[in-house]
Structure 1
Amino acid sequence: MVVSARITNFLAYSSLTVSRVSHLGNGSLRYQWLLCRNTSLLQLRSKIQTVVPSITSNVSVPKENIPTADALVRPDLEGLYEDIREGLTNTQPELRQIAQYYFNGEGKAIRPVITMCMARAINYHLDQNAPGVIQKQKKIAQIAEMIHTASLVHDDVIDVADSRRSRPSVNILWGQKKSIIAGDFILAMASGMLARLQNQQVIILLSQVLADLVQGEFMQLGARENKDERFAHYSEKTFKKTASLIAYSCQAVSVLSGADSTLQSIAFQYGRQLGMAFQLVDDLLDFIATSAQVGKPVAADLRLGLATAPVLFAAQKFSELNPLIMRRFQEPGDAETAFRLVLRSDGLQRTKELARQYCNDAVTQVAQLTPSPYQQALVTLAHQLLHRMK
């Protein structure tokens, strides 16, 4: 596979020097009723769908007979949500109910799947089959899902979300204060599980994830930078909010395998690049997908005042987007104007291409591991991400 030089192309795209790029992710949103009332954004989205090439164009997808990552690690993740719910039982009944609410088994568990697939690929590379090591790696997958879900609980409070995965959100059912406490409780229980692994390096790695999540959310609340700094800020913020968890979870399981610094770097970089690509695709889908396809309202980020990659790329062509970004699309007609300008620009295409570059970089990382079904599944995951619609 010929891998494009991401840094070179990135500079060509953005005319910015960005030394650190990062992940992306957003919670569910509360303005479904706004979109139902105002159909102009929906009409614009339909136009975008007709002019934007398929996100998977020119992507070489592995053969269909290769087992998926989900199928390969399904035995490792059997009982994942039951174990998490069990770990959240030792508290007051109502707090237990709130904390367990999102662990109903309906999530895609993509982070545990990536984590365990990386664990198995590293284990294969090192010929590491100790049952004790694998059990600890499973705990990392469980902790990663708990950290992710706790962040969703907090995101739903911050975004005043109405729903999550086609169900009422926790803050709608129990209110903001109890939801915040429940999110904190999930993190506390995850931290206890992490401490019981008794591995100082792993504890440090996943503690960094918690710090990154807080800092990333704080950065998102106050993103009003100079236009020349926006993409760098966006990249750092999105790493902290999404890619950090995937990257450090992958590194943590490699540490438990006994991997050296080179292998740890491979694991970390794969997670980092995949996390970046994941959010870029998510940002693109916010413009071109339907609510049914992505499981949340469309144009969610604009309504939250967030300028994601398509908007930032579009602003390089249309300077009139800059004041809209500065005021976080809060004035009447701002969101509709931003939609139209993104459509007229090459922002969607450039976002798609940047996601493809990150996926290629992720594949380059795992290509250094010994060939195995798990290594190939990690490659497949990267390709599948580019035609994700949910």
Structure 2
Amino acid sequence: MTSVTSLFAPVETDLDLLTHNLKGLVGARHPILSAAAEHLFGAGGKRLRPAIVLLLAKATMANQEITPKHRRLAEITEMIHTASLVHDDVVDESSVRRGVPTVHSRFGNRIAVLAGDFLFAQSSWYLANLDNLRVVKLLSQVIMDLAEGEIQQGLNRFDTSLSIEAYLEKSYFKTASLLANSAKATGVLSDISEVTINQLYAYGRHLGLAFQIVDDILDFTSSDEVLGKPACSDLRSGNLTAPVLYTMAEQPFLATLIEREFAEASDFDQAIELIHQGNGIQKSRDLAAEQSRLAVECLASLPPSAAKQALQDIADYVLRRVF
């Protein structure tokens, strides 16, 4: 299957520069933070979010170079994303991510929290220096949404009354807001029509939701090695995702197991078995497919280009991970 990084060919050189710049932006003012930055930005992440910013910049700036402000927006996007991961790993007590030790497991919780705070602060500083109030507002909203999503997830642990709509809202806050608002900010910096700016926002929103739903499916269908973290970890911690919610509608006993927080020895294994026996995973695939289709439709007004094709292919790639 095509790797996602091969889809970034139109901006491959730009992404190499971005990775180099990110390590420098975090800076060497403190050896521990510098080591944490090297660890974070050298951990083999897909760079999906900054790649989308750079591809959208190319797709909306036909026959023009990507501007320095677009490049900085891509860097800010990745810094915000990485900061959120550092904090998530502390909250979730995750020991590995992408198959490597998390910052808090390597440097301790105190350094991890400070490193996440530092990245958020750095991203805010560079954001302010773009001198574009509308872009500042868009990316500041993302930081609020990330916190809101984490709070919602924490408050809804083992809550079997959670609806698919509430799950999608939380998924928007935790995953899709960054893609949606950074896509919209790209359009603002490209000075394109308001209609197209809003279509870019919708592309990011639908793509982000598809990506999160697919990740939640993979939590039940992939191994620890493929995931780079323990499989089924969301359910074990009480985070109820689409496959679980759909299965509960068919198998009410799953709700009983969840409500007692897998208190009995066989409860968790029984819950996993119910999820694999039912239609919840397939219904989640259908939900992801609909979001991916909607994302591609949002690109219709962009002129043909290698960058536009890559953006369409990314939406297809996200879906192919579970088909």
AA aligned to 1:70 is F
Q: Secondary structure at the match of 2:265?
A: coil
On the 8 A contact 1:363/1:382 being kept in 2, the answer is yes
CA apart distance, 1:368: 2.3
Question: Paired residues, what number?
Answer: 320
Q: Residues of 2 paired with 1:123 and 1:356: CA distance?
A: 29
| Pick aligned residue for 1:167 from 94, 100, 108 | 100
What residue in structure 2 maps to residue 378 of structure 1?
Answer: 311
What residue in structure 2 maps to residue 6 of structure 1?
Answer: none
On the 8 A contact 2:184/2:201 being kept in 1, the answer is yes
**Does 336-345 or 194-203 show the bigger shift?**
336-345
Q: Secondary structure at the match of 1:146?
A: helix
Give a deviation string over 1:142-173, Cα, whole Å, max 9, x none. 11111111111111111111122222221112
AA aligned to 1:204 is K
CA apart distance, 1:329: 4.1
Q: Secondary structure at the match of 1:207?
A: helix
Q: Residues of 2 paired with 1:232 and 1:275: CA distance?
A: 15
| Pick aligned residue for 1:83 from 13, 21, 28 | 21
Higher relative contact order (CA 8 A, sep 6+): 1
What residue in structure 1 maps to residue 188 of structure 2?
Answer: 255
On the 8 A contact 1:99/1:183 being kept in 2, the answer is no
**Does 199-208 or 148-157 show the bigger shift?**
148-157
| Pick aligned residue for 2:235 from 294, 302, 324 | 302
Give a deviation string over 1:204-228, Cα, whole Å, max 9, x none. 0000000000000000001159755
Residues 224 and 285 from structure 1, CA distance in 2 versus in 1: closer, same or farther, beyond 3 angstroms? Answer: closer
| Pick aligned residue for 2:289 from 331, 347, 356 | 356
On the 8 A contact 2:26/2:122 being kept in 1, the answer is yes
| Pick aligned residue for 2:35 from 92, 97, 106 | 97
What residue in structure 2 maps to residue 218 of structure 1?
Answer: 151
AA aligned to 1:247 is A
Q: Kindly, what percent of the aligned residue pairs are identical?
A: 39
Q: Residues of 2 paired with 1:188 and 1:324: CA distance?
A: 42
Q: Residues of 2 paired with 1:280 and 1:152: CA distance?
A: 17
Residues 254 and 69 from structure 1, CA distance in 2 versus in 1: closer, same or farther, beyond 3 angstroms? Answer: farther
Q: Residues of 2 paired with 1:154 and 1:194: CA distance?
A: 20
What residue in structure 1 maps to residue 88 of structure 2?
Answer: 155
CA apart distance, 1:321: 2.0
Q: Residues of 1 paired with 2:296 and 2:102: CA distance?
A: 36
Q: Secondary structure at the match of 1:106?
A: coil
TM-score, normalised to structure 1, is 0.77
Show structure 1 runs of 5+ residues with no match: 1-55, 57-63
CA apart distance, 1:330: 5.3
TM-score, normalised to structure 2, is 0.93
What residue in structure 2 maps to residue 121 of structure 1?
Answer: 59
Alignment of 1:30-109 (within 5 A): 69-89=7-27, 91-104=29-42, 106-109=44-47
1:196 aligns with 2:134: no
Q: Secondary structure at the match of 2:230?
A: coil
On the 8 A contact 1:156/1:169 being kept in 2, the answer is yes
Give a deviation string over 1:299-340, Cα, whole Å, max 9, x none. 121122211100100011111222333455455333212211
What residue in structure 2 maps to residue 21 of structure 1?
Answer: none
RMSD between aligned alpha carbons? Answer: 2.1
Residues 330 and 147 from structure 1, CA distance in 2 versus in 1: closer, same or farther, beyond 3 angstroms? Answer: farther
On the 8 A contact 1:244/1:272 being kept in 2, the answer is yes
Residues 105 and 223 from structure 1, CA distance in 2 versus in 1: closer, same or farther, beyond 3 angstroms? Answer: closer
Q: Residues of 2 paired with 1:357 and 1:110: CA distance?
A: 20
On the 8 A contact 2:158/2:239 being kept in 1, the answer is no
On the 8 A contact 2:160/2:258 being kept in 1, the answer is no
What residue in structure 2 maps to residue 209 of structure 1?
Answer: 142
